[in-house]
Structure 1
Amino acid sequence: MILLHWMALALHLAVAGAMFAAAMPSAHAQAAAAPARAFNIPAGTLTAALNRFAEEAGVFLSAPAELTQGKNSAGLAGSFTVDQAFAELLRGQNLEVVRQGDGSYALRQAAAGASTGVLPVVRVNADAETGAGDLPKAYAGGQVARGGRVGLLGNKSVMETPFNTTSYTAQMMEDQQASTVSEVLRADPSVREIFPEGGPAEHFNVRGFYMQTSDFAWNGLFGMVPHNRGATEMLERVEVLKGPGALLYGMAPAGAVGGVVNLVPKRAADEPLTRLTTSYMSDSQLGMHLDLGRRFGEEKQFGIRVNAVKSNGDTALDGQSQDRILGSVALDFRGERVRATLDAYSIEEKQTGGMPLLSTFASSQLAAAPDPTVNTQRGAYSISRSKAVIGAVEFDFNEDWTGFAAAGTKRQTGAGYLNNAIGMNLQTSGAYTAVGMNAKNFFDATSAEVGIRGRFRTGPIGHEVVLSTNAIEQTTGTTANMVTWASNIYSPTTGTRAAEPAVAAKTAEIKLDSIALADTLSFMDRKVLLTLGLRQQRVRTTNFAASGAVSGTPYDSQALTPAVGLVIKPWSAPLSLYANYIEGLSQGATVSDLTSANNGETFAPYKTQQVEFGAKWDAGTFMNTISVFQIERPSLIKDAVTTRYSADGEQRNRGIEWNTAGELARGLRLLGGASYIKAITTRTQSGQYDGKTAIGIPTLQLNLGTEWDVTRLSGLTLRGTAIYTGHQYANSTNTQELPAWTRFDLGARYATRFADHNVVFRGSVINAFDKRYWSGVWNGYAAVGAARTFQLSASVDF
């Protein structure tokens, strides 16, 4: 309640326009009163041309992107001063650039001009490797960024990062009408959601390894993200790093090793923002989202960003309704030597009337996927409440050395059917055993990080050194009641609902702490970058029985885990070759299969090793990354006779990935790629499962999203996305094979002005051709694919 009152007070202050008064002098942007110099800016969108020029000229530009949406530029070739170059780039656009008192520039509408389109305010920064407090700018097309956070290394350019990384922008989230992180990650060919879409939780495979939302990071801190679903309305970026991230971020609370998803909250931009978005989702769900941003002080050093969301109504699943409330406040201070942030959020999500289906199969003959709108458990419901407060501060000792610290706490409770509509032993006729599991749980977490980052040289070698330590403490509790009954997925019957437990008994305490040291050495004018790092890690876990007594033997283990990363830029062309070797120590997996004899057992922590090689090519407005990797880690295998899981064998994933993003041609944007993974189990007992494909890992995954600005109607953009997922197995013996599937999502948006306000209308349809399919596998349970869902929204800037 204190958190909610605090958030309401912050919202009131933002609306009233009163915040802080005193101000410290902030660092000025570089003045651009420079002589003429040669520029060669390619033709393309106006946004891309301005971004490219700002980078080459070394200036700061504040550019409300609604002014550039749908506009193109003929480029720039020749010698110009900064002012002359801006005038040439904006010729015929009814726009002008005005120099500010701090030496930066601001884009605005010319006296006789009219603007079209509306997108988030974009602060263009000439440095793709900006320090903390400034995010790497958006790449051509605005869907991804030029760089992102690489854990303790801070924000890095994609071209100077020895890992495969992608950073999805707030613009991409808005244009694709994504309200959860899983909807953002649809664009990534290395990621697949393995829970049914529209359920109360989100679970993923990343590079063929399991990940859940609780393993997401919040601005580099683990444990601060809601356990069930990640909301996007309060996010500026969703950053994905593929592969183990133990050196970079520390240990993930639930043991994810396939990658790290880092969520970056929104901050107030230099220009005021008041945006109201109304939305509709089939069947009858209505929503409203207020996004409010203001800066205060003589040099706008104080900022507040408020996001408030309310939605309610029926979903595409027959008989199900959803009620969602979100409130978030992001405060920040930008001083000359000090930067500080404070984030707080509160989220409540309710689903009543049913859950999407998950089921195991009885034999190698699989039932056809049912109509995803059919409700197999009409009495099911769930409710989840999450609250968190996270603070961070940075202090520049001098121009080369910076200290940083961050800390946060999260509290979350849940009740109801939190694992969807579960079923077992599904026959080809559709007959199966329905399982009603009514649970109550809680997740309390505290996380902190402290460190120092600096630069120095030893002769011709540059050094970027980071020393940091972090710690996470998490207490979890779960109690569940379960009933079963005979039903059919095509014509379900309603069973007796299990009683909700009175309390959630504590089940585990987890303490993760580590200290890390990393040095990035630069040679030959940064054409060669070598990152060396070590992290001393410790894992302590204690499990508890329902009575509160300690269950089993508490685990306490330490390990020293190294990492090496290499980037080589061999030519003047924008090409980077990279390689890495990284290890990680992760918390041991917990069995969550209801049909197993040791459901709930937690295993000892395990080590993971990754070797990766790749190449990155920046073609100016079109970026590509090719990666070849191998990841090895111990795995859990279920014995078909005893139904017990054991740490039996190893999972070895070998794969190749292609990621692409940017503008292929004027007004034509692409986003997606392909992933080929051969995930096999090895070293199993008596070789029983050696050479078998790991459960739920498709060999081939393809994603291709396209956007086309219709030239004959300014402001109109059409969008289409194709998602292909290859066949996958639902059991260890590879006798239950889910067919490959392809899904198409379509969308459009129209940006205009109405009554002197910027307005954007958006519409989309998920699973446009009503494909029926089994989408993925979670612990041997196959998930039914998404129902055809229509979405409409209108955003207005006031």
Structure 2
Amino acid sequence: MREFFARRVAVLLAASAWLLVMGPAAVFAQSPRGAAAAAAYSGDFSDLADSDVTTLPDVTVRDSRTALDEAAAALAGGQVARGARMGLLGTTDVMDTPFSVTSYTDEAIRNMQAQSMADLLAADPAVRSTTGRGHLSETIRIRGFTVGASDYAFNGMFGVAPSGRVFLEAVERSEVIKGPSAALFGMSPGGSVGGVVNLVPKRAHNEPITRLNIGLRQDSVLSTHADIGRRFGQGGMFGVRVNTLYLDGDTAVNDQSIRRRVGSLGTDFRGEKLSVSLDLLWTHEDVNNATRPFSVAPGLTGVPPAPNGKNAYPGSGEFETENTTALLKVEYEINPALNVYAGYGEHVYKVDGALIYPTMQNVAGDYTWIYRQWKQQNDRDSLEAGLRGTFEHPGIKHRYGFSASRLQNDQGTFVPNRGSGSSNIWNPVPPPKLDRLPDPIRPGSELELTSFALADTMELWEGRSLLTLGVRRQEVDSLSLTSTNPLTRHYNKKATSPVAGLVYKPANWVSLYASYVEGLSTGGSAPNDPVYVNANEQLAPYVSEQYEVGAKFSFGDWIATVAAYELSRPTAGAIFLPGPVPPGEPDRVYGIYGEQRARGAELSVAGQVTESLRLLGGLTLIDAKIQKSATPAVLGNRLAGASRFQGNLGAEWDTPFVPGLSLSARFIYTGSAYADEANRLLIPSWDRIDIGARYTFEDARGTRYTLRLNVDNLTDKQYWTNSYTLSLGQPRTWSLSLEMSL
């Protein structure tokens, strides 16, 4: 498989090299405007005095909403961006979108010293991580619903983002679009409906970038990170951005060590009409004494107090993961009003580890565990092609997009149980360590997602109103396989997902909006059990719905958003047939009889409110319930893991008494939640304080230095994160780094 993937990467490299070298060379050689365009990109117009080019702005100026491969510009203060990528509509200004959107910048990532998405999104009041550091996979919860890392998008495409834990060294923007967005983005591999997280890869800027970072984290984790970007050729038409990271040492968790390696290459070509980009990304992580969340036993009557987060419960586990991604994207401007584009990417995710799966048995903290080897490989390829354009007729401007996409995901696993035992959180006895078995990975499943989508945004009344209408036709084809690879279950269903949104701007600084959008999840099949009258029947994809209204306010250098929403998601279950059933006959039917519904209100603030003060935070109120269920006893209960209230308040202050010194603080509060649908196991509320300091200065040669110190969970609070499992929050952790910008 490694050789197979390597050959495909080689083909991508060769194709992109030809496009980057031969294609642009031919275009520029044949174009009388080639030299003029190159000069325009560089900002040097001195050689155009005698040029016959009189329409230079039409050649070089692009509408940022149709730029396929560029990150949106940052607000003053640098923490968040002004826009985000809205699926097939491209990058759109936040004030023009009928959804709640936050786009975090690379500067915010560096200043927080965030190691992964879970660290970064701790700043978002509508998002909570459901797993702590040192876990195999990080998951987050948006608006009461879980979103896994495998459902993130990379450069606007599903299926090619790193899985498990997403590291941020190669990321320019982390865009969070809250709520389902199947019509604009398509169905994610896992069918998450809480929101869409899109990772925008780094690109070379017009100015050279050379950043070297040396870091030390508690207890003894040393890291080195290099970030280098250059543009070459006439007017900087070629760009190269390289990021490398090496991190190794003992973490703040007792007896836990980590080694991480990251490498990325982002290349791009900016031509007069042709744009090409190629991203290569590789990550490898080894964790010893890995932590795992506790499942809850059926007889558990209460949640024990959270023990010290520095203990590596349940102990002895270890794993290594590897992500390899290649993504090639091409865009061509047929004319100023029409662009066509295509993208093809591949991603391989590998896991090999010996993990301990604990189950909490009682309030005294006794738990049982199963020792299970976990080997998994996901092979994905993703293809998308489409067009975006503009046209107008009297009084109405149209910005439309059409796309066709295909995502293939093949997954294989090898998960044997290798022992069991018991322990206690207050007197833990680590399980024995076992060597990994060399057995091969067994075929598991194949998933193919194919879709066609069309959307149009209409600007009315001189841009004061924007009406967006769209629809996506999605086909879901799934196979479940066994180790001998015969077909054991085949699933094929189709669904249509619409989107509608309206933005009204009564003034330049305010946008009022309303939207309706749907999400899709694989419906699956009824269990293969003779007690069901419809055993093995294929269910239609789950169609989730979200209604949202809100207002956005842009006060110069900062933006505030107020939103209210209702998000509902169907669930499957079984109901018994009415009346007497003859002995030996099926007595129940499996179907979509349940529904989970979350209603909420959100307030978020981001940006520079004064010359020296920046804010990032907000409040979230959620009423997440089981609206319908095949189990009457749980009707009206709160969703597992969903708290009623979440709040964040983060501030950065540039001190007047020491030039170059900035101080930061963040308060995080999360209300109580239940760990089970029966609402018997209450996870207490928790709060946390994070602080930081940053000092920037330059030497006589003009080299810029930034010294950063961050302390997360300053008071070393002990808490369970809000989830349907019991996962310990991170202990007090400090990070120190020195960054040099040459």
TM-score (norm 2): 0.88
Matched, 1:789 2:733: yes
Other-structure match for 1:84: none
Other-structure match for 2:122: 186
Summarize deviations over 1:577-608 as a string: whole Å, max 9, x none: 111111232224799xxxxxxxxx99752111
Summarize deviations over 1:4-61 as a string: whole Å, max 9, x none: 99999x99xxxxxx99995943885999xxxxxxxxxxxxxxxxxxxxxxxxxxxx9x
Q: Matched residues in 2 for 1:509 and 1:102: separation?
A: 57
Residues 1:30 and 1:532: Cα distance change in structure 2 (over 3 Å): farther
| Aligned ranges 1:287-326 → 2 under 5 Å | 287-326=223-262
Contact 1:744 1:769 in 2 (8 A): yes
Other-structure match for 2:150: 214
Q: What RMSD in Å do the two structures reach over aligned CA positions?
A: 3.0
Matched, 1:408 2:352: no
Secondary structure of 1:454's counterpart equals: strand
Other-structure match for 1:521: 458
| Aligned ranges 1:169-184 → 2 under 5 Å | 169-184=105-120
Q: Matched residues in 1 for 2:38 and 2:680: separation?
A: 62
| Aligned ranges 1:510-659 → 2 under 5 Å | 510-551=447-488, 553-570=489-506, 572-588=507-523, 605-635=541-571, 648-659=593-604
Among candidates 772, 789, 794, match of residue 718 of structure 2: 772
Matched, 1:368 2:312: no
Residues 1:329 and 1:102: Cα distance change in structure 2 (over 3 Å): farther
Q: Matched residues in 1 for 2:690 and 2:554: separation?
A: 28
Q: Matched residues in 2 for 1:187 and 1:303: separation?
A: 32
Among candidates 376, 384, 388, match of residue 325 of structure 2: 388
Secondary structure of 1:353's counterpart equals: strand
Secondary structure of 2:109's counterpart equals: helix
Q: Matched residues in 1 for 2:82 and 2:393: separation?
A: 29
Secondary structure of 2:549's counterpart equals: strand
Contact 1:347 1:385 in 2 (8 A): yes
Q: Matched residues in 2 for 1:385 and 1:555: separation?
A: 29
Q: Matched residues in 1 for 2:482 and 2:89: separation?
A: 40
Shift of 1:198: 2.9
Shift of 1:704: 1.2
Residues 1:662 and 1:339: Cα distance change in structure 2 (over 3 Å): same
* Deviates further, 556-565 or 230-239: 556-565
| Aligned ranges 1:153-552 → 2 under 5 Å | 153-360=89-296, 362-417=299-354, 421-482=356-417, 483-497=419-433, 500-501=436-437, 502-551=439-488
Among candidates 681, 685, 704, match of residue 626 of structure 2: 681
Q: Matched residues in 2 for 1:495 and 1:172: separation?
A: 40
Contact 1:358 1:784 in 2 (8 A): no
Q: Matched residues in 1 for 2:642 and 2:159: separation?
A: 26
| Aligned ranges 1:16-27 → 2 under 5 Å | 24=28, 25=34
Secondary structure of 2:291's counterpart equals: coil
Shift of 1:352: 1.2
Q: Structure 2: give runs of 5+ residues left out of the alignment.
A: 14-19, 29-33, 49-60, 527-536, 576-588
Contact 2:574 2:630 in 1 (8 A): no
Other-structure match for 1:113: none
Among candidates 677, 680, 685, match of residue 735 of structure 1: 680
Summarize deviations over 1:553-595 as a string: whole Å, max 9, x none: 311111222111111112x34110111111232224799xxxx
Q: Matched residues in 2 for 1:26 and 1:741: separation?
A: 61
Shift of 1:464: 1.1
Other-structure match for 2:612: 667
Secondary structure of 1:351's counterpart equals: strand
Summarize deviations over 1:39-97 as a string: whole Å, max 9, x none: xxxxxxxxxxxxxxxxxxxxx9x9xxxxxxxxxxxxxxxxxxxxxxxxxxxxxxxxxxx
Other-structure match for 2:52: none
Shift of 1:653: 0.8
Q: Matched residues in 2 for 1:357 and 1:252: separation?
A: 25
* Deviates further, 222-231 or 22-31: 22-31
Other-structure match for 1:41: none
What amino acid maps onto 2:712 in structure 1?
A: I
Shift of 1:229: 0.9
Q: Matched residues in 2 for 1:178 and 1:537: separation?
A: 36
Secondary structure of 2:290's counterpart equals: coil
Contact 1:27 1:335 in 2 (8 A): no
Among candidates 75, 78, 84, match of residue 142 of structure 1: 78
Residues 1:273 and 1:315: Cα distance change in structure 2 (over 3 Å): same
Secondary structure of 1:649's counterpart equals: strand
Residues 1:259 and 1:661: Cα distance change in structure 2 (over 3 Å): same
Aligned length: 689
Contact 1:704 1:723 in 2 (8 A): yes
Q: Matched residues in 2 for 1:102 and 1:759: separation?
A: 37
Secondary structure of 1:494's counterpart equals: coil
Residues 1:465 and 1:311: Cα distance change in structure 2 (over 3 Å): same
Q: Matched residues in 2 for 1:453 and 1:704: separation?
A: 39
Summarize deviations over 1:85-121 as a string: whole Å, max 9, x none: xxxxxxxxxxxxx976599xxxxxxxxxxxxxxxxxx
Other-structure match for 2:16: none
Q: Matched residues in 1 for 2:422 and 2:344: separation?
A: 49
Q: Matched residues in 1 for 2:499 and 2:177: separation?
A: 15
Q: Matched residues in 1 for 2:301 and 2:101: separation?
A: 38
Residues 1:645 and 1:720: Cα distance change in structure 2 (over 3 Å): farther
Contact 1:520 1:530 in 2 (8 A): yes
Shift of 1:648: 4.6
What amino acid maps onto 1:535 in structure 2?
A: R
Contact 1:277 1:796 in 2 (8 A): yes
Contact 1:255 1:589 in 2 (8 A): no
Q: Matched residues in 2 for 1:286 and 1:459: separation?
A: 62
Other-structure match for 2:579: none
Summarize deviations over 1:472-527 as a string: whole Å, max 9, x none: 00001122123321101122112244663512211110000100111111111111
Q: Structure 1: give runs of 5+ residues left out of the alignment.
A: 12-17, 32-59, 63-97, 104-124, 592-600
Q: Matched residues in 2 for 1:463 and 1:346: separation?
A: 40
Contact 2:38 2:234 in 1 (8 A): no
Shift of 1:637: 6.5
What amino acid maps onto 1:786 in structure 2?
A: Q
Contact 2:607 2:615 in 1 (8 A): yes
Shift of 1:179: 2.0
Q: Matched residues in 1 for 2:177 and 2:320: separation?
A: 31
Other-structure match for 2:533: none
Q: Matched residues in 2 for 1:275 and 1:29: separation?
A: 27
Residues 1:797 and 1:533: Cα distance change in structure 2 (over 3 Å): same
Contact 1:272 1:295 in 2 (8 A): yes
* Deviates further, 213-222 or 493-502: 493-502
Percent identical among aligned pairs is 37
Other-structure match for 1:66: none
Residues 1:532 and 1:687: Cα distance change in structure 2 (over 3 Å): same
Q: Matched residues in 1 for 2:441 and 2:648: separation?
A: 40
Residues 1:462 and 1:746: Cα distance change in structure 2 (over 3 Å): same
Contact 1:758 1:796 in 2 (8 A): yes
Other-structure match for 1:759: 705
Contact 1:7 1:329 in 2 (8 A): no
Contact 2:451 2:474 in 1 (8 A): yes
What amino acid maps onto 1:383 in structure 2?
A: E
